[in-house]
Amino acid sequence: MLPEAKYRFLSEDVKRRSGLVLGPEKGYLVESRLAPLARTEGLASVEAVIDLMMRGDKRLCEAAAEALATHETFFFRDKTPFDLFSEVIAPALKPSRAGRAMKIWCAAASSGQEPYSLAMLIDEMSGLRADILATDLSGKVLEKARAGLYTQFEVQRGLSIQRLVKHFDQAGENWQIKPELRAKVRFEVGNLLDDFSRYGRQDVIFCRNVLIYFSVEEKAKILARLAGMLADDGYLVLGAAETVVGLTDALKPAPGQRGLYVKADSGASAPVVFRSATAAA
């Protein structure tokens, strides 16, 4: 158990750097996530890591924030958002994007399974091009994402054998996404607490399963800025446990579509038919 003062310092520093809220009940998470960092740094304990952080070691502060971030992901995770993309979002936007690539941003993309899942879907659609940007706080997980190299366990989570054969090459005991698919995704280090206006206007934003770790105040700020980046007829996709309701007036739920949001003054919320669940086929 960490001394209260040190835990408080860690919580405040991590929140300032990443937005992650570490309540008193998260002590187990701190120990399990920072223990490997302590070993890598040749330090005797997690408390020793925090001691150096308190002395102003900025590199270690950033490493601790990255280590504490949650990077759970897998291909076609939760399935429904990808069904929504192929059956609702893409058909709605495709006619007005003729002649240019659809701009898609995957925020908190972790090790790349989400943007690569979208790249696979787009590859399977005729006449659709997309510019996919994927960002994450952790440069380390983005290195893995750029390499597109995954274990047998990772490719078994959410991928059909047909997609595995089509989009991957075997690399020893692992599988690597083919170069042509990797080329469709651009990865950048990015923090949702920072100014992300440099990414430009986006047609579709996937920001799933990350806002749940922020305070209410930070959620509201981030959603307002996401709305500002969204095309007037664009779509925002959030996780099943996330919502814009009560947090911003700039966005509203798309009727009948769980996890899908549009700009409050947009015409993109017209009812659409969500026919089937085929994205994970």
Q: What does the pLDDT read at residue 256? A: 84
Do the domain assignments include residue 16? yes
Q: Are residues 197 and 232 in the same domain?
A: yes
- Examine the domain organization and report whether 136 and 51 are in the same domain: no
DSSP 31-93: HHHHHHHHHHTT-S-HHHHHHHHHTT-HHHHHHHHHHHS-----TTTTSHHHHHIIIIIHHHH
Single out the residue in 68, 94, 121 at which a domain terminates: 68
Q: Are residues 17 and 130 in the same domain?
A: no
CATH assignment at residue 175: 3.40.50.150
Give 249-273 pLDDT, tens digit per residue: 999 999 889 899 999 987 554 444 4
Number of domains in the chain: 2
Q: Is the pLDDT of residue 10 over 80?
A: yes
Confidence of residue 225 (pLDDT cuts 50, 70, 90): very high
**Residues whose CB is less than 8 angstroms from the CB of residue 226 and which lie 6 or more positions away in sequence, other chains included:** 205, 207, 236, 251
Residue 166 near residue 219, CB atoms below 8 Å = no
On average, the pLDDT of the chain sits at 89
What digits encode the pLDDT tens for the residues 77-110? Answer: 999 999 999 999 999 999 998 889 999 999 999 9
- Asked if the structure places residue 106 within a domain, the reply is yes
Residues 90 and 52 grouped into a single domain: no
pLDDT tens-digit series, residues 13-58: 888 887 788 888 778 778 888 898 899 899 999 999 999 999 999 8
**Are residues 20 and 129 part of one domain?**
no
pLDDT at 268: 53
Look up the domain containing 117 and give its range: 80-263
Q: Is residue 281 part of a domain?
A: no
Residue 201 lies in a domain: yes
Structure tokens that stand for 272 in this block: 């659409």
- Asked whether residue 278 carries a pLDDT value surpassing 70, the answer given is no
Q: Do 116 and 239 sit in the same domain of this protein? A: yes
Q: Is the pLDDT of residue 213 over 60?
A: yes
Tell me the mean pLDDT in the region 163-187: 96
Domain-terminating residue out of 40, 68, 96:
68
Are both 109 and 225 inside the same structural domain? yes
* 280: confidence class by pLDDT, cuts 50, 70, 90: very low
Residues 53-85: b if buried by 16+ CB within 10 A, e if exposed = beeeeeebbbbbbbbbbebebbbbbbebbbbbb
- Kindly state whether residues 167 and 232 are assigned to the same domain: yes
The residue type found at 73 is T
Domain containing 24 — which CATH number? 1.10.155
End of a domain among 43, 68, 93? Answer: 68
- Residues 109, 57, single domain; the answer is no
Separation between Cα atoms, residue 82 and residue 84, nearest integer Å: 5
- Given a cut of 90, whether residue 232 has pLDDT beyond it is yes
pLDDT beyond 70 at 166: yes
Q: How confident is the model at residue 72 (pLDDT cuts 50, 70, 90)?
A: confident
Percent of the chain with pLDDT over 70: 94
Higher pLDDT, 272 or 216: 216
Is the pLDDT at 277 greater than 80? The verdict is: no
**C-beta of residue 228 within 8 angstroms of C-beta of residue 200:** no
- Can you give the C-alpha Rg of the chain in angstroms? 20
Q: How confident is the model over 167-173, as a mean pLDDT?
A: 95
Per the CB < 8 A criterion, the answer to whether 83 and 276 are in contact is: yes
Kindly tell me if the per-residue pLDDT of 274 is higher than 90: no
Task: Indicate if 115 and 210 belong to the same structural domain.
Answer: yes
Task: For residue 180, tell me if it sits in a domain.
Answer: yes
